[in-house]
């Protein structure tokens, strides 16, 4: 069994990847969706003396940053360092507003915007992944981002000549379109990532059977986003296993002869949005329990905002004996530290906790 945690390259997901890089192996292979580049910070120097240039900021002096250029991009290098050279998929993420809406903070996804409108730049960035032996370049095909068959054939072959493993990520719209390429080109070291997005796996029987019947040497992974982006925090149950997240992909992938499955670790497939009423929603914690294959929902319906987490922290830690039967959980440790410091955390804190708990549960059990 292979588990693929899908992580966008945002601050909290990258923090989790660094903290849990010991969990990654040939059984747990993270997939990073690249939204924005990471740059090496450079500082201005006096051209004559070579000394750094400073400006006064209040009572302190600060170095003046140089404007970042393409030569300062360290995105892949940074991710590789975080995961300590473990194997990972790299998917340069393209998006359409039809799916993600018009309230996207474009400054947080500036690379995705550029490659969504420039196929040559997209190909260039995917090819950059081949410089790293442990990183697997992914070609992603989905509505609004389809390749002509001959172009895809050429791109697949080009990648295969430079990388021992590649990934082809497709949605169910394109099984028949690219069936012959999947069967004739993908090697036993390659991966077919079949992405059903927010659709329930139980409703995709015909498509899953189509993938099962493909005569391909590649490893097949079922990708799913079981927590729908349209569901608000306040809609989750106050306590108990939630009915709003159907994690059945974990149970049924093997029935269709897939080699594994992947998901967003209890998080939503959503892009950063412009901040509207930040911090006034319902406090929500989702604690995954492997043996139940379900998320325990803790939602404060009475107190809005971050202060609502005070009661949630207390409720979760009352169940600590159930969530932490043998091995210590790094996610629960973060919750205990919040209680000790009398803090509540914010949305980012709890996204980190949810993802940490989920990946660590997979690490302990597969």
Q: Based on the domain organization, do 125 and 246 belong to the same domain?
A: yes
Of 266, 167, 255, nearest to 204 by C-alpha is 255
The predicted pLDDT at position 235 comes to 97
| Same domain as 213, residue 65 | no
Q: Are residues 10 and 111 in the same domain?
A: yes
At which residue do the structure tokens 């987490």 appear? 309
Q: Is the pLDDT of residue 277 over 80?
A: no
- Give the pLDDT score at 278: 62
Taking the whole predicted model, whether its pTM rises above 0.85 is answered as yes
Name 4's Cβ contacts closer than 8 Å, sequence gap at least 6.
28, 29, 30, 31, 89, 193, 221, 223, 260, 261, 262, 263
The domain that holds 173 is classified in CATH as: 3.20.20.70
Enclosing H/E stretch for 89: strand 88-92
Which pLDDT does position 175 carry in this prediction? 94
DSSP 296: E
Give the pLDDT confidence score for residue 70 in this predicted structure: 92
Structural domain count of the chain: 2
Residue with tokens 């018009």: 102
Residue 273 has pLDDT above 90, yes or no: no
Q: 102 pLDDT exceeds 90?
A: no
Domain that holds residue 7: 2-38+73-365
**pLDDT single digits (tens) 173-182:** 999 999 999 9
Do 196 and 156 share a structural domain?
Answer: yes
What pLDDT was estimated at residue 59? 82
More confident residue, 257 or 101: 257
Whether residue 120 sits in one domain with residue 10: yes
The helix (H) or strand (E) run that includes residue 125 is: helix 119-128
Query: Domain check: are 59 and 172 in the same one?
Result: no
Q: Are residues 202 and 320 in the same domain?
A: yes
Q: Note whether 178 and 295 are same-domain residues.
A: yes
Distance from the Cα of residue 43 to its chain's centroid: 31
Closest CA to 44 of 33, 32, 53, 35: 53
Domain co-membership, 58 together with 177: no
Q: Are residues 49 and 116 in the same domain?
A: no
What are the distances in angstroms from CA 325 to CA 2, 56, 172, 340?
Answer: 24, 54, 39, 21
> Does one domain contain both 59 and 121?
no
């Amino acid at each position: 069994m292979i588990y693929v945690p899908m992580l966008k390259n945002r601050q909290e997901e990258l923090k989790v990847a660094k903290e849990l890089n010991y969990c990654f192996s040939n059984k747990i292979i993270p997939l990073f969706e690249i939204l924005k580049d990471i740059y090496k910070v450079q500082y201005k120097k006096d051209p004559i003396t070579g000394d750094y240039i400073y400006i006064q900021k209040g009572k302190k002096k600060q170095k003046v940053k140089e404007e970042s250029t393409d030569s300062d991009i360290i995105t892949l290098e940074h991710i590789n360092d975080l995961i300590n050279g473990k194997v990972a998929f790299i998917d340069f993420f393209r998006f359409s507003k039809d799916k993600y809406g018009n309230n996207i903070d474009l400054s947080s996804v500036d690379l995705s915007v550029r490659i969504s409108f420039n196929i040559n730049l997209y190909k260039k960035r995917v090819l950059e992944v081949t410089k790293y032996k442990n990183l697997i370049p992914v070609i992603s095909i989905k509505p609004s981002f389809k390749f002509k068959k001959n172009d895809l054939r050429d791109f697949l072959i080009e990648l295969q000549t430079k990388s021992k493993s590649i990934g082809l990520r497709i949605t169910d719209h394109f099984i028949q379109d690219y069936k012959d390429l999947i069967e004739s080109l993908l090697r036993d070291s390659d991966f077919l990532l079949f992405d059903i997005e927010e659709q329930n796996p139980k409703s995709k029987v015909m498509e899953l059977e189509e993938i099962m019947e493909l005569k391909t040497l590649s490893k097949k992974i079922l990708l799913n986003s079981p927590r729908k982006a349209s569901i608000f925090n306040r809609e989750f149950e106050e306590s108990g296993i939630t009915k709003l997240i159907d994690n059945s992909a974990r149970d049924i992938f093997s029935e269709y002869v897939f080699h594994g499955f992947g998901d967003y670790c209890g998080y939503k497939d959503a892009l950063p949005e412009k901040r509207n009423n930040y911090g006034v929603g319902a406090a929500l914690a989702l604690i995954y329990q492997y043996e139940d294959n379900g998320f325990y929902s803790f939602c404060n319906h009475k107190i809005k905002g971050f202060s609502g987490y005070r009661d949630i922290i207390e409720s979760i830690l009352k169940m600590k004996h159930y969530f932490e039967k043998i091995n210590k959980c790094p996610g629960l440790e973060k919750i205990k530290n919040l209680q000790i410091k009398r803090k509540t955390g914010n949305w980012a804190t709890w996204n980190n906790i949810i993802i940490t708990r989920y990946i660590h549960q997979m690490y302990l059990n597969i």
